[in-house]
Chain A
Amino acid sequence: MLENHAKLMRFFSEAKEVTGRKKLQKMVYILQSFGIPFEEKFQFHFYGPYSEELMLRVEELCNLGFIHEEKEVKSNYFQYHYTLTNEGTDFLNQFSVEMPNCLESIELLQGKSSRFLELVSTMLYFKDLPKDDVEAKVLAVKPKQKYSEEEMAEAWNLIGELAERLH
């Protein structure tokens, strides 16, 4: 009961600010893949794993005044920024929720581009396949992104690093 909302608010509290819905989606998915208990259901979409449930919950948090959403007009699209409000902090103080410490991992992910996080989250989506097949599958489902071998290697490194930190 409101536990899933509280978990997301804990995430926003640690992230301080999240820029971009795509980045938000991929960060939550990546953390969930490493066992952080977010309950939102993700499906594979055009731009990688995506959760409608997550987006709706974030909208609820915005409507409740727990999260502040700022819309920034870019050249031909909008970008959204999210921060926890004082009311959100007050709620978290009243409503205790158990979450593993993932502050360092969140900071690590925040430093990456949304394009790179799309690659990492897509690789994790196919994590049950053998390593070579994962790369082949990524190239097959994302031909337009033209991910390089270096990016793939960097993504594997990040996955390894997260696995060490979060397990």
Chain B
Amino acid sequence: MAYKDEQLQEEKVFKDPVHRYVHVRDRVIWDLIATPEFQRLRRIKQLGTTNITFHGAEHSRFNHSLGVYEIVRRIINNFQDRPHWNNDQRLLCMCAALLHDLGHGPFSHSFEKVFKLDHEYFTQAIILGDTFVNKVLERVSPGFAQEVADVIAKTHSNKLVVSLISSQIDADRMDYLQRDAYFTGVSYGHFDMERILRVMRPIEDQVVIKSSGMHAVEDYIMSRYQMYWQVYFHPVTRSAEVILTKILHRAKHLYEADYNFKLKPIHFLSFFTGDVSLEEYLKLDESIVHYYFQLWQEEDDKILSDLCERFMNRRLFKYVEFNPNKQISDLMRLMQLFKDAGIDPDYYLVVDSSSDLPYDFYRPGEEEERLPIHLLMPNGSLKELSRHSDIVESISGKKRTDHKLYFPKDFLQKIDDEKIVQEITGILYGKERE
């Protein structure tokens, strides 16, 4: 039997708190899960610094990747014998679902911003490079790894397959919303996925939703909206993310200034120089990052040691709401006052905006801006979701954005010059000092 068709003698299952069980019968999927590159995902948390706010959020990219695979497996089972569905694409879809986040690194959002990296580039590099994952995929057939990489990059010619993994209502989002809700312990984020899977229909170049299932999709859109503001944009999580980003900036700056680290940042060197090989990238996981942050607390550089101590011990920055339109001169003045007080504003005064985070909510958008969620009407026509659902229309019409100003409040209490303190607190909190 060809490797691509090989089935395990007995079905294997992974117990999963979200989907109850993840079922594996294909040899190829089983072999991919066993590769070191996939196992590495156990050491990378799905939500980065969110566990600082929601202590349960310790789940990994490994959990999520298995979850996405399981959802796609179930969708494909439902698609059997439906028009437009070609079952030859089954293995391609499942491999792409399993491997779609393979290139994520530790705290990848901050790392990407500071070191100008792209986890999608590394997903491609792992799938196409000299790796165990590549060997498994190429055993399926020569060129199969490239196909999987193309589906994940959304550049595969089969748009239907791409939309299963990546669209406004895809397996990726359906898994992370439910999983993140489960592990953070919040009551939002739940929706009737079984119902959505039952009303999904393949058409020529996308997956659409049978109109009778609209209410289940409304629930999904609501949960996406609530998770966005209640979990992903939580201001305390953002504070931890701000500090993490500043640690990386500081370490890079010190390296460039020939600072003599007590603990040489060996694992970071290629990140500092901007020439990260795949081998080096794969070596860096969250345990390594935490190891450095733990020991950098003892560095002579006061900024690096302070920021690491804050991150490790959850001594976070405080924040106030900030309006760049009305308060830009306040910000300029604060930067000067911080400098006068001996506090470096480059590290200790940070504006963080909602657009700085990698999550989005549903918007129908303009024609051909991006593909919306389409309802399949009884007469066979397609209708954009918000044109048919009052709930979705009202949510997607709201454009809520926000900006916060982060700073170490404890430092303000240590400033000797009372005039500076008065002026800073006056700007931050109004006239009275807290």
Contacts and interface: CB of A to CB of B under 8 A. Distances in A.
Interface stretch (A47-55, A148-156, A157-165): A47-55
B355 interface: yes
Contact of B371 (A2, A45, A74, A118): A45
Interface in B144-163: 153-157, 159
Interface stretch (B176-184, B189-197, B359-367): B359-367
A41 B118 contact: yes
Interface in B22-42: none
Contact of A52 (B324, B360, B401): B360
B332 A77 contact: no
Contact of B324 (A2, A53, A56): A2
The interface centre, meaning the residue of A56, A57, A95 with most chain B CB atoms within 10 A of its CB, is A56
B354 A47 contact: no
A66 B325 contact: yes
B366 A21 contact: yes
A68 B400 CA distance: 16
Contacts of A44: 153-155
Nearest to B153: A44
A45 B370 contact: yes
Interface string B355-392: 10010100101111111000000000000000000000
Interface residues of B, number: 36
Contacts of B350: 1
Nearest to A80: B366
A77 B157 contact: no
Given A62-B399, A64-B324, A57 B155 contact: no
Contacts of B276: none
Given A43-B154, A63-B401, A65-B325, A56 B366 contact: no
Interface string B44-61: 000000000000000000
A90 to B, nearest CB: 9
B337 to A, nearest CB: 16
B336 interface: no
B120 interface: yes
B295 interface: no
The interface centre, meaning the residue of B325, B351, B366, B367 with most chain A CB atoms within 10 A of its CB, is B366
Given A41-B118, A91-B325, A94-B329, A60 B370 contact: no
B403 interface: yes
Q: Which 3 A-B pairs have the closest CB atoms?
A: A77-B367, A56-B355, A46-B371
Interface of A: 1-2, 4-5, 20-22, 25, 41, 43-47, 50, 52-53, 55-57, 59-60, 62-66, 74, 76-80, 87, 91, 94-95, 114, 118, 125-126, 137, 140-141, 143-144
6 contacts: A2-B353, A22-B368, A41-B118, A52-B360, A66-B325, A91-B328
Given A50-B369, A87-B325, 13 more contacts: A22-B366, A46-B371, A47-B370, A52-B360, A55-B360, A59-B399, A60-B355, A60-B403, A63-B399, A63-B401, A64-B323, A77-B367, A79-B366
